[in-house]
Amino acid sequence: MRHVPKDVVARHEALIREIAAHDRSYYVFDAPTINDRAYDRLYAELVALEREHPALVRPDSPTQRVGGEPAAGFARVKHPRRMYSLDNSYNEADIREFMARAREALGGALAPIAWVVEPKLDGASMELVYRGGRLALALTRGDGVEGEDVTANVRTIRSLPLAVPCDGEVITRGEVFIHCADLAAVNAAREAADDPPFANPRNAAAGSLRLLDPKEAASRPLRIHLYELVAAPDHPDTHLGCLALLAALGLPVHGMQKACASEDEVIAALGAFAAARPSLPFDIDGAVVKVDDLKLRERLGSTARFPRWAAAYKFEAEKAETRLLEIAVQVGRTGALTPVAVLEPVQLAGTTVSRATLHNEDEIRAKDIRVGDTVVVEKAGEIIPQVVGVAKAPDAERGPAFVMPRRCPACGARPSRGEGEARWRCPNRLACPGQLKASLVHFASRKAMDIEHLGPSLVDQLVDQGLVRDVAGLYRVGEADLEALERMGKKSAENAIAAIRASRARPLHRLITGLGIPLVGEVAAVPLAARYGSLSRFAAADPEVERAELSAMFGIGDKIAAAVADALADERFLGVVRELLELGIDPAAEAVAGGPLAGASFCITGALSSPRHAVQERIRAAGGEVHTAVKRGTGYLVAGADVGKAKLEKARALGTVVIDEAALERLFAGGKP
């Protein structure tokens, strides 16, 4: 290396290797081989060498884990090989049926199949590509065909080597996760900064990967375990061999896989993982059963949605018992009154639960849930805590049956319950602080304006202190206003204001979603944004014209058209929109005219390998138009599994071309179906 003494180069190389080895011992094996002070001295020496000799800096240096300016967004990149989801099984019979199908597909008379059972980590799926021995690309799962390039954030994971001893291309997949204990520390810091805590480790991992600033991502204690080798020189013939190769390359693997020679051994391994679940430092939501022989995997192939050589065994939702202290009633942005259980805090699925949904008054009465009871709580989908029933009534006399309050708890208005509806609603739409708070939280949500640092507790203070009276008021708040609030220091105020300012750049469909028009979610907002093109043109639209014309638009229909027209006729709603315009917030619709599907229209029916909304978003992002039903002018009907004959006949009668998912992928690539 020019102008750098050989002994300095050698010392630099030795430091990189030594620091990487210590990182691996600490973050992968939880067995530190050096104390923090000694580690810091090594790192400081490395920094000093690179500062004195900039030519030494290279991509795999530990000093380069975090660098560069925050990203404006994440580019979508096609996976080298499609990332399938796994078919879910929920009991022993399902797993035995899966293994029997595999045996039958392979001829039945084959020698016993060798299986591998491993834990199903509850995190964010990730694909890594190493080229020339160095980490070149990290992609989220996305829709399985394309993922988001989050390489800069993944480089901050200290358990992941930035270089491997292999010159050829290595493609591997794994799960990014956070230890439960680490999540508790992260949430404590977030609450101190008035940010909403993460609901569980999975949300924390996924949210950290999508931070635009790698320096902020580096502050999160992310880890990764790799569970699949997609490509490598001298690729082994078995899954167990692949895991051994990953470990030999210095890549982090969990090492918990169990080789099984029979179906009974597979069932026993599943039971062992279920029993070990509470003692693990990280969350698992099940186990995965895989065929070990890769050649047999090729013979088994995949369906349109799942590989036939693997299945996920999902554990039952965790349950816990605790005492019901109170039934509170919260007000939603539409005025809906929802009863919420206030509980003695209890550990459930890796988090502390102190509140849970009770759904509605009828549900509470049907389950006869009363204050003072010991209730059973579980996490629906392991995310939302809910009370599922009474475990034990108190020995003394039980409390009275629950009755919904006859006054809105936020504003005192008399709620009403429409015929056939399960919920009571507060009618005070214009002045109810509860509805305003919920509207602000919705406006700041990821599906809408995606405003970091604007959580429920900060929203509560903004409304209670009279600083914000509608969503437009967020853009009038200053740092001094926030610094005067409880638990809001200068840095927290700066972060919140910076996030609010950044939201000004969101496209029109995100703003329309955030405005909270009834029935208009993130899907319907896209064609509306395309129709108006800007917020100013939306504000100037004639309500009665829109009522008639919107209903004829694909993806809208009569009910949404009426809701939009009613909003445009509402002077208070228009007042908020005009205030946003006065503040210089007039976003345009995202332009996709140059995409490979520009000018084409699609309707989707049947089961696809990705969620339908994800496929619709890909079509729109590629310039195509999405129709909710086959109508005259629909160009293509994308037909997945279990399509009804009537839909196919209607498509053919109207001249709509029927294609499968593979043909749609060819269109995305610019080809012909």
Active site residue 647: no
Q: Which two tokens stand for residue 440?
A: 């602000």
Residue whose structure tokens are 């580690």: 39
- Annotated catalytic residue within 6, 78, 120, 215: 120
Own/partner pairs for 497-503, CB < 8 Å, 24+ apart? Answer: 499/451, 499/452, 499/453, 499/454, 500/451, 500/454, 500/474, 500/475, 502/451, 503/444, 503/449, 503/450, 503/451
Mean pLDDT of the chain: 86
Residue 364 three-state SS? helix
For the residues 280-297, what does the mean pLDDT come to? Answer: 92
Percent residues over pLDDT 90 in the chain: 44
**How much is the pLDDT for 349?**
66
Please give the domain boundaries of the chain with CATH numbers for all domains: 6-64 (1.10.287.610), 87-314 (3.30.470.30), 319-425 (2.40.50.140), 433-505 (1.10.150.20), 508-582 (1.10.150.20), 601-668 (3.40.50.10190)
Task: Supply the angle between the helices 92-105 and 263-276 in degrees, to the nearest 10.
Answer: 140
pLDDT tens digits for range 35-66: 767 776 787 788 888 888 888 888 778 887 76
Please state which of the ranges 522-526, 570-574, 580-584 shows the lowest mean pLDDT: 522-526
State the Cα torsion 11-14-15-20 to the nearest 10°: 170
Which two tokens mark 611?
């969620």
Lowest-confidence segment of 7-16, 535-544, 641-650 by average pLDDT: 641-650
Torsions phi, psi of 459, nearest 5? -60, -45
- Please give the pLDDT value at position 127: 96
The pLDDT, as a whole number, for residue 1 is 56
* 612 has pLDDT over 80: no
Q: Which residue has the higher pLDDT, 194 or 150?
A: 150
pLDDT tens digits along 464-498: 999 999 999 999 999 999 999 988 889 889 999 99
Q: In the prediction, which pLDDT does 226 show?
A: 96
* Statement: residue 644 has pLDDT above 60: yes
> How far apart, in whole angstroms, are the C-alpha atoms of residue 372 and residue 391?
11
Least confident interval from 67-76, 374-383, 525-534 = 67-76
In this prediction, residue 114 has a pLDDT band, given cuts at 50, 70 and 90, of very high
Band the pLDDT of 626: cuts 50, 70, 90: confident
pLDDT for res 22: 79
Least confident of 117-121, 172-176, 356-360, 669-673: 669-673
User: Does position 648 have pLDDT exceeding 70, yes or no?
Assistant: yes
Q: Kindly state the average pLDDT of the residues 99-104.
A: 91
Average pLDDT for residues 638-666, to the nearest whole number? 84
How high is the pLDDT of residue 479? 93
The tokens describing 523, both together, are 């899907």
Measured between alpha carbons, how far is 628 from 663 in angstroms, rounded to an integer? 20
Give per-residue pLDDT as tens, 138-171.
999 887 888 889 998 999 998 899 999 999 999 9
* The pLDDT value given to residue 322: 94
Whether pLDDT at 646 is above 80: no
Strand partners, 657: 636
List pLDDT tens digits, range 306-351.
899 999 998 877 788 999 999 999 999 889 999 999 999 988 766 7
Element of type H or E holding 248: helix 239-248
Burial class (CB in 10 A: 0-12, 13-18, 19+), 502: middle
- 390 phi, psi to nearest 5 deg: -95, 125
Q: Which residues fall within 8 angstroms of residue 587, CB to CB, at 6 or more apart?
A: 504, 505, 506, 507, 508, 510, 511, 534, 535
Res. 591 pLDDT band, cuts 50 70 90: low
